[in-house]
Amino acid sequence: MDTSTSLGNRELAVAKKRALDAAYFRKGIAVAALSSCMYALYTAFVTAGQLFGVWAGWFDAFAPSGLLAVFILPTIASGVNDVLSAVWATFFTAGQGKLADLGRCIASKPGVIVIAAAFIGGPIASAAYVIALSQAGTLAVPIAALNPAIGAVLARVLYRQPLSPRVVTGIVVCVVAGAMIGSAGLSGQASSGMTLGLGLALLAALCWGVEGCVGGRATCMIDPQIAINIRQLVSGVGNLCLVLPALTMACGEPLGQSYVFVAQALTDKSSVVFFACSGFAAYFSFMSWYRANSMCGTALGMAINGTYTFTAPLFTWIIVGLVLGFDGYALPSVAWVAAVVNLVGICLIAVNPLDMVKKDGDRDASA
């Protein structure tokens, strides 16, 4: 009798544990979906910020193909966004009484890993992404969203995680979608900076793939709020103190002038409000992304976050094109089709379609 009761209690405990794990997993999926939507808002607002105030004057005054307009101004936009995002992150960290934890985590081994991942996925990827947006428009978004496919390959190389035929198929589908985007961008109607923009979007995807693989593991040991605070601080400081000076000197421009632009951008009321919104959206997006990666796994978290391949062009078109009234933000039909194809590839990487039709019991048995 005691044995049967013990077995019954054990089965009940196992069932409750499975239910809790399933609920936690589903919550992770919801957090990843929220990350995608917030990233779409970040893309829309950081694009809008470069259309008002001093930004409009700068882009009108400088040649569109000039080094200043191509590299320096978008890097400043990325830096301003990340600095304001770091301010938001630090504000919420202080509000939660975790500033002391922030200092301790920075000196820890997981904190150092987050700093390294943040530098790759922060100043390098963020600057590349914003420059890509300035050159290729929202066509750069689906290319940058290839990071789950790149992350899956890197996970195989770094962690010896197996690549099943389904995952390989998903990667191939993503590559096909990228080729479709490239064919649209490299047509006769493409701007002169389209090739550069798509190339930098691919660089951003590579950097975010590395960040997702490396940073995702570290965040299992660090509070997501602390991790994202470190990430945004590294990104903001790295952009303005390392990437911007390097690009300025490489372009042969006076360094002092770049920081004059930074000061003007931070004090321009008509545009900084958009960067404040984009900074908040970026903070919330990356916090949700880090949190989701630790809740439902890096591959699935990156894949669901990658749905911004569709939401970012859509939100940008709505906010910048329809609400603010700027032309040129409607994507060609092939780009929308490619975005959906890319989404299918991302889902194949993360989820077995057969699992969607299995009963719960069958799914548990196959787990």
pLDDT score at 367: 43
- Coil, strand, or helix at residue 79? helix
Domain of residue 256: give its range.
39-355+362-366
- How many independent structural domains does the chain possess? 1
- Could you report the per-residue pLDDT of 12-52, keeping only the tens digit for each? 777 777 777 777 777 887 888 899 899 999 999 999 999 99
Domain assignment of residue 146, yes or no: yes
Mean local confidence (pLDDT), 226-237: 89
pLDDT score at 307: 76
Domain assignment of residue 5, yes or no: no
pLDDT score at 342: 76
Taking phi first (over 0 means left), then psi (-120 to 50 degrees means alpha), and beta for anything else, what does residue 328 get?
left
pLDDT score at 4: 60
Residue 178 or residue 233, greater confidence: 233
CA-to-CA distance for 194 and 177, rounded, in angstroms?
17
Domain assignment of residue 55, yes or no: yes
Domain assignment of residue 2, yes or no: no
Give the confidence band of 313 by pLDDT, cuts at 50, 70, 90: confident
Domain assignment of residue 67, yes or no: yes
pLDDT score at 184: 60
- Could you report the per-residue pLDDT of 99-111, keeping only the tens digit for each? 988 888 888 888 8
Domain assignment of residue 327, yes or no: yes
How high is the mean pLDDT of the chain?
82
- Could you report the per-residue pLDDT of 198-207, keeping only the tens digit for each? 899 999 989 9
Domain assignment of residue 28, yes or no: no
Mean local confidence (pLDDT), 322-347: 81
Is the pTM above the cut of 0.85?
Answer: no
CA-to-CA distance for 251 and 129, rounded, in angstroms?
19
- Least confident piece of the model among 112-116, 203-207, 239-243, 273-277: 112-116
Domain assignment of residue 94, yes or no: yes
Give the confidence band of 272 by pLDDT, cuts at 50, 70, 90: very high
- The closest of 297, 245, 355 to 363, measured between CA atoms, is 355
pLDDT score at 154: 78
- Could you report the per-residue pLDDT of 173-195, keeping only the tens digit for each? 877 777 776 666 545 445 567 88
The tally of CA atoms less than 13 A away on the side-chain side of residue 363 is 12
Residue 174 or residue 312, greater confidence: 312
- The closest of 302, 35, 26, 30 to 170, measured between CA atoms, is 302
The alpha carbon dihedral of 317, 319, 325, 328 has a sign of: negative
pLDDT score at 366: 43
Q: Count CB atoms within 10 A of the CB of residue 149.
A: 29
- Could you report the per-residue pLDDT of 112-163, keeping only the tens digit for each? 888 888 888 888 888 898 888 888 887 788 788 777 778 777 777 776 767 7
